[in-house]
Amino acid sequence: MPTPDPHTALYTTAQVRALDRAAIDGGIAGIELMQRAARAALAELRRRWPQARSLCVVCGHGNNGGDGFLLAALARAAGLQARVIATGDAAPGDAALARERYLREGGEVLPASATLPAADVYVDGLFGSGLNRAPAGDAARLIAELNAQVAPVLALDVPSGLDADTGVAFDPCVRAGATVCFVGWKRGLFTAKGPDQCGERTLATLDIPPDIYAAQTSDAWLLQAQSLPPRPRDSHKGRYGHVLAVGGDLGAGGAVRLCGEAAARVGAGLVSVATREANVGAILSARPELMPHGVHVPRNLDPLLARASVLALGPGLGHDEWGHGLWQAALRAGLPTVLDADGLNLLAREPHGLPEQIVLTPHPGEAGRLLGVPVAEIQNDRFAAARAIATQHRAVVVLKGTGSLIADPDGRVAVCLWGNPGMASGGMGDVLTGVIAGFMAQGLDAWDAACLGVGLHARAGDLAARAGERGLLASDLFPYLRALLNGRAGNS
């Protein structure tokens, strides 16, 4: 595992608690960390909503509530109107000290039974990162009232009701306009329901010394924008690999065509397509740079496999006799492979040896089939699911969805922070398969190709979605894939 950079490292709740404890043991008092968190939160609030003059801070009894009390005290000292609703007495320790300071400086505490007063900004300081069950009682009612407000909500550390480890949103859960996370990024903020509940995310490390972070291995990390180095002037197509895309049963020729074009768009030297004879003419007319071949039976695949360096197996493949036969023949070749769609469904139905360099790209439904569990169980802990599939199949795994995860058998996990709801449309996964295969053809190993491919695909989707998320098509990504890869897309 790499030495964590706190701005890219993702931690479990237990790991953040260990960082917090190490900082306190190193000489930073707990109440001082709480004061720093309050200052960071107030600065973020004023940056985002500079016209705000009144706040309502909803505080729980723990340290998250303590952050809220100190934020209210600082806001009052800065000339803002700040009112606090608390769900009970503060817990002993730093949270109680924070509440006492707020009261000592003239603050008033409204009971949990009170209706939320009008405010320009609401602050959620109810639960923080320690919650692992659905809120109940007054807390649940206050969360519902927060979600009903027109004014924005700032969540302290984690939106109350969100599992900070998994991204599962309990019912109810605060839907914040912004979240300021303290000490270290909690991994659940970036996958499953986390991004929707958090809104815009910022990290405040509270000036914890770098050596504290160096001593704590992160659980995962955020993907960073990457590209490939410029090509030498004496390049030729044979240097950049030959992708063979296998799939496209009757009625599904578009899937394998999208996959093949994606591999070409990210720089594969040659791309062949093994598909139904009925698809050949359409693929040639739509994209003549691809080399489609009608394949009737598995043995027809042999000469194409002999020339290929990487396989993209599964888009539109189907799972009847034709698709099953091609799937078996392709896997027997032992070539570096990206396995997707029906290729994964066949693997779930019929275990098969896989190449050493293999990337599996399941969506949650396919992941559930691979592990033999319901989709809900996958989404309840996407990190555990991705790691389990990677271990079971000795593969690099891309678990698609909000906050796509890339996992490998050694336990590494990277999380993609790009992508948008417009990408929930047919063909997006086929393009991703081709992108990853195209990078493997150019010499990247399975892990690096998956990380680069997932990030590039999602960033291209975000650029394409500037014209609107609804109606976004998979083929809309092609010009942006090329622009990003060649450093011509500007900031994204």
- The least confident of 66-80, 126-140, 405-419, 429-443 is 126-140
Q: Say whether pLDDT at 122 is over 80.
A: yes
For residue 4, what pLDDT is reported?
64
Query: DSSP letters of 184-251?
Result: SEEGGGGSTTHHHHH-EEEEE-TT--HHHHHTS--SEEE------PPPPTT--GGGG-EEEEE---TT
Q: What is the side-by-side strand order in the sheet with 54-59?
A: 109-110, 81-86, 54-59, 121-125, 153-156, 178-182, 200-204
The CA radius of gyration of the chain, in Å to the nearest whole number, is 26
Architecture of domain 9-219: 3-Layer(aba) Sandwich (3.40)
Q: Say whether pLDDT at 492 is over 90.
A: no
Q: What is the dihedral of CA 445, 448, 453, 456, to 10 degrees?
A: -150
For residue 3, what pLDDT is reported?
52
Q: Say whether pLDDT at 89 is over 90.
A: no
* Residue that the structure tokens 């939320």 belong to: 116
For residue 128, what pLDDT is reported?
87
> Looking at the domain 237-485, which fold is it?
UDP-N-acetylmuramoyl-L-alanine:D-glutamate ligase (3.40.1190)
Confidence of residue 109 (pLDDT cuts 50, 70, 90): very high
For residue 488, what pLDDT is reported?
83
Q: What is the pLDDT of residues 249-273, one digit of tens each?
A: 999 999 999 999 999 999 999 999 9
Q: Are 188 and 129 within 8 A, CB to CB?
A: no
Q: Say whether pLDDT at 274 is over 90.
A: yes
For residue 446, what pLDDT is reported?
98
Q: Say whether pLDDT at 2 is over 70.
A: no
Q: Are 183 and 131 within 8 A, CB to CB?
A: no
Domains of the chain, by residue range, sit at 9-219, 237-485
Q: Say whether pLDDT at 138 is over 60.
A: yes
Task: Give the residue-averaged pLDDT of 400-424.
Answer: 98
The span from the CA of 461 to the CA of 278, in Å, is: 30
Tokens of 373: 């569990």
- Tell me the pTM: 0.96
For residue 29, CA distances in Å to 19, 33, 158, 205 come to 13, 7, 22, 15
For residue 491, what pLDDT is reported?
54
Residues 16-25: contacts with CB under 8 Å, at least 24 apart: 16/129, 16/183, 16/184, 16/186, 18/216, 19/183, 19/184, 19/208, 19/212, 19/213, 19/216, 20/183, 22/212, 22/215, 22/216, 23/183, 23/206, 23/208, 23/209, 23/212
Task: Give the residue-averaged pLDDT of 302-312.
Answer: 98
The span from the CA of 120 to the CA of 115, in Å, is: 15
Q: How many beta carbons lie within 10 A of that of residue 222, not counting itself?
A: 20
Q: Say whether pLDDT at 490 is over 80.
A: no
Q: Say whether pLDDT at 198 is over 90.
A: yes
Q: What angle do CA 334, 337, 340 make, to 5 degrees?
A: 130
For residue 1, what pLDDT is reported?
45
The span from the CA of 193 to the CA of 175, in Å, is: 10
Query: DSSP letters of 167-182?
Result: --B-SS----SEEEEE
